[in-house]
Amino acid sequence: MSTFCYAKCFAPFTNLIHAVTTKSNQMPLYGSLALHTGEPHNQIINNRQKIVETLKWDNTYHFVTAQQTHSDRIAVIQTSKSIGWSDYKGAIEQCDGLITNQKGVILTILTADCVPLLLFDPRNQVIGALHAGWRGTQTQIASKTVAKMTQHYGTQPKDLIAYIGPSIKRCCYEVDKTVMQHFQQTNAYDKKGDKYMLDLPHINFSQLLESDLQSRNIETSPHCTACDTELFFSYRKEKGCSGRFMSMIGLAR
Ligand SMILES: [Zn+2]
């Protein structure tokens, strides 16, 4: 049996469904959901099916996945069908952000330390999901996703509810000068010898504020993936692990 993490900020909206998966001793590969990290295909597919059964969502829902590449490309999902759910090659190429207003379409993001973000515009009934590692954070994919929701669906940023999911935090995310040079202008880091402890979730929070979201509409998960390896996969802490957990958001039919 798997358990899930939920965002409090989405709880008031009964038509919005979401979940963040956690590790499970009862599933092969601890419940990893990634098809691209070299693990047996059928076991990952079984894990995906198990997750969906456990969530007890409508069994006609479709699932959209992307071949995340630390890009700043955002896809607008305009059809109601699964994409890349049972076949990695079918996932959207070079894409790290997804937006849609299609009901019954679940947007998914896979991570193991990088920052997953889920967005909901209750006024226009539009959702977004994105992946921001340091590269995506540097290229401001969170702000670009908000802008794309505005452009395509008329989203007003002040209406947006945002969840910054479990990711590696300032306590554990050590980077060197080459990464740090991109974030020198933020104050979201501590110096530690010749290294830096960088706060990616906080930088994404700041970017959302700069995009005119209201701070009271943004929730950051308390979990650090590297501190909480019982619950989450951590690429850093688990030394290049192949496991990934999934953040999911959808509009109920
Ligand atoms: Zn930590």
pLDDT along the chain (253 residues), means of 10: 88 97 94 96 97 94 98 98 97 98 98 98 98 98 98 98 98 97 96 96 98 98 98 96 97 95
For 158, other C-beta atoms within 10 Å of its C-beta total: 11
Indicate the length of the chain as a whole number: 253
* Nearest in space to 114 (alpha carbons), one of 238, 234, 249, 242: 234
Distance in Å, CA 172 to ligand 1 centroid: 4
Q: Could you tell me the pTM of the whole model?
A: 0.98
Strand order in the sheet with 62-64: 4-5, 16-21, 245-251, 105-111, 62-64
CA of 113 to the centre of ligand 1 (A): 10
Give domain limits for the chain.
Answer: 4-168+217-251
Domain 4-168+217-251 -> CATH class: alpha beta
Question: Cβ neighbours of residue 79 under 8 Å, at least 6 residues apart?
Answer: 102
Instruction: For residue 141, report the distance from its CA to the centre of ligand 1, in Å.
Output: 23
Cα(252) to centroid(ligand 1), Å: 34
CA distance 153 to 156: 9
pLDDT (0 to 100) of residue 2: 63
Give the span between the Cα atoms of 59 and 51, in whole angstroms.
Answer: 12
**What one-letter code names the amino acid at 192?**
K
